[in-house]
Amino acid sequence: MKTINPATGKVIKEYSEMSFEEVSGIIYRANIAQKQWKERSFTNRSVNLNKISELLKKNKDRLGKLMSTEMGKPFSESIGEIEKCAWVCEYYAENAEEFLADDTVETDASKSYVTFNPLGTVLSIMPWNFPFWQLFRFAAPALMAGNAVILSHSENVTGCALEIEKIIHGSGISADLFRTILVQNENMKPIVQHDGIAAVTLTGSTKAGKIVASQAGEALKKTVLELGGSDPSVILADADIKQAAESCVNSRLLNSGQSCIAAKRFVVVEEVYDEFVSEFKKLMETKKVGDPFDEATDIGPMAREDLRDGLHVQVQKSIEVGAECTLGGEKPGAVGSFYPVTILENVTKGMPAYDEELFGPVASIIKVQDEAEAVKVANDSVYGLGASIYSSDVEKAEKIAAEQLEAGCCFVNDFVKSDPRLPFGGIKQSGYGRELGLYGIREFVNTKTVYVM
């Protein structure tokens, strides 16, 4: 196993994969530690979570540098990611006890209520695009609920995975309660099905989600899946075009375009199509691709060369069947897995740019006649993670977001983002279950009915 700097193509470090016997021992010890951890009060656990937050903030420059080196995101975004992880730890340290308080239900019994108990040891299989955030948004509530956590991270961010482990252990949490394991994806099935694993959460591609869900299903284990997305941004005729264009560009290029909730399909009513595209393109042209440690850089390299090459194939195939490339679209010959800011117009059904998730700095723009067609096209996807809608008629846009758009997260006049206070997750091929907020912490607990006659 090795990590490679995507900006230079050079190997950073190589690691030895753990054997199943090693991992089995880790899981065994995690279950012992979990039994002790679950007996501690919420107040006691919150001390550790707040300490994790302090350590993250104290070490954010060092951790951010490692993140940018391993997966290429601009350094300023890496710093922001670490700060957000600190926030989610503080949020659950403060709110977990209230979220998991017994829920009294009036029945014929003298007393009846619902209580929430931890499940045990939860396996988390995490992706490379937000190496710290993806883990902490699951681990903070899971730990506060009384569970143990085993992390299997993407091979290309192994350094980040090991640093996460050090930070958590530095808070005073038992070294056995949270462990990082080094195992390649093709060898994960016996770990997913291990008797010591109570549940599994995966953030990643839809393909990976189906594999893990199938493996976990064979062993009747609870799963939460946060998978791919091809999020639409709907631009109605009465939208503030400049504001909408700026928001859409920010969404499309966040994390160098490598975000499951990034806006990817821009569905624009023809009345304002030309105006929106003009403003959108003008902003996209100002974005600089380059060294993630250069303060002037907006977009770093893609995390791996194979991902960059796969994206380029999707762009070329879309052009071959009629899409018009009006910006970018040419794969650089320089060292590093860089890809230019790209705009595809005349995008229609049947093209990769319409049907598939484009994980990189590529925008697909789709012209529609009116509001009704805009909603229809927005929903015309196998994915259902996030969606946004832009309109000066906020009441109308809110109604469309709440009642018509098929997604787990719908935003009005802003781009989709995760927030510790709000549940996050998708429908259709974007997965199931929720992270964050009240609903996130209740995923990995036994929701138990207690009835006293």
- Strands 263-269 vs 2-4: parallel, antiparallel or unpaired: unpaired
From 152, 149, 203, select the one nearest 18 (Cα to Cα): 152
The catalytic site residues sit at 226, 260
The DSSP result for 367-421, as a single string, is EESSHHHHHHHHH-SSEESEEEEE-S-HHHHHHHHHHT--SSEEEESS-----TT
Contact between 171 and 60 under an 8 Å Cβ cutoff? The reply is no
Dihedral angle, C-alpha 384, 385, 391, 397, nearest 10 °: 70
Name every residue whose Cβ is closer than 8 Å to that of residue 2 and which is 6 or more positions away in sequence: 11, 12, 13, 14, 15, 155, 158
The DSSP result for 277-294, as a single string, is HHHHHHHHTTPPB--TTS
Question: Measured between alpha carbons, how far is 210 from 33 in angstroms, rounded to an integer?
Answer: 31
HSE, side-chain direction, 13 A CA sphere, residue 421:
0
